[in-house]
Amino acid sequence: KSRGARLDMEVYMKTNNYSGLLKSKFIEIFFMLLLGICFVGWPGAAVKMMLKAVGIICIIIGTIAFIAFFAAWKGGGTVIGDILTMILGIPFLILGIMIFVKPNTFLDFQGLFFGLLLMVHAVVEMVQSYLYVRLMGGKWWIHMILPIITMILAIIILADPFGAAKSLVVFMGIVLLYSAVSSLVFFIKTLASREKF
């Protein structure tokens, strides 16, 4: 871990930009939990009724990611974490808009859309975990376990072995809850690391 990298992290963690990024991450986790609970609790007829709510939540998550990125950029520069947050927000934003424009298409290909979205989320988590280990130290494979599980779950959803749409929706809800908890674990680790500076 280089001295320059640690100094950069120390400066960044003390800025308001970083605080804003943490707040946006917390909001993202909250909406992922909410969406997961809805999928698990109401997987049947409620799916169609929830489409607009899902679209709104996805648009909110995507918008928050963009706001966090541009706030950091305007406030004096961005780091790779800000860019990754924006990249993760793009598919959420696109998915939210698609739900409003073509809701029936989403119902027909919900597994495909969700699986691809989850794969993007897993890749972003892997990169964030790598950067965290590079800057803070520790065993890289421990931090990679949760993102790898997320990637495996995404592949399972894309393979669609469920046969019934209702079962797929319930599984997607469980995966969303897992992803939210995984992000929350990383969020807590990041907060703990901030206290060291």
Note the pLDDT tens digit of each residue in 4-33: 444 444 544 555 455 555 666 777 788 888
Evaluate whether residue 4 is within a structural domain: no
Q: Is residue 38 part of a domain?
A: yes
Q: Is residue 59 scored above 60 in pLDDT?
A: yes
Write down the residue that tokens 């130290």 correspond to.
137
Residues 60-76 have a mean pLDDT of 75
Taking the C-alpha atoms of residue 187 and residue 178, their distance in angstroms, rounded to an integer, is 14
For the chain, give the mean pLDDT.
Answer: 73
Q: Does residue 75 sit within a domain?
A: yes
CATH number at residue 43: 1.25.40
- Examine residue 11 and state whether it is found in any structural domain, yes or no: no
One-character DSSP codes across 46-114: HHHHHHHHHHHHHHHHHHHHHHHHHHHHHTT---HHHHHHHHHHHHHHHHHHHHHH-HHHHHHTHHHHH
Terminal-residue alpha carbon distance, the chain: 15
Whether residue 24 lies inside any domain: the answer is yes
Model confidence at 165, in pLDDT bands (50, 70, 90)? low
Does residue 1 lie in a domain region?
Answer: no
Instruction: Give the pLDDT score at 7.
Output: 41
Cβ count near 1 (within 10 Å): 11
Quote the number of domains for the chain. 1
Check residue 98 and give its pLDDT: 81
Q: Is residue 120 part of a domain?
A: yes
Per-residue CA distances from 10 to 73, 75, 138, 168 (Å): 18, 16, 17, 43
Is residue 185 in a domain?
A: yes
What range defines the domain where residue 38 resides? 18-194
| Residue pLDDT, tens place only, 101-144 | 877 777 777 778 778 888 888 888 888 777 777 766 667 777 78
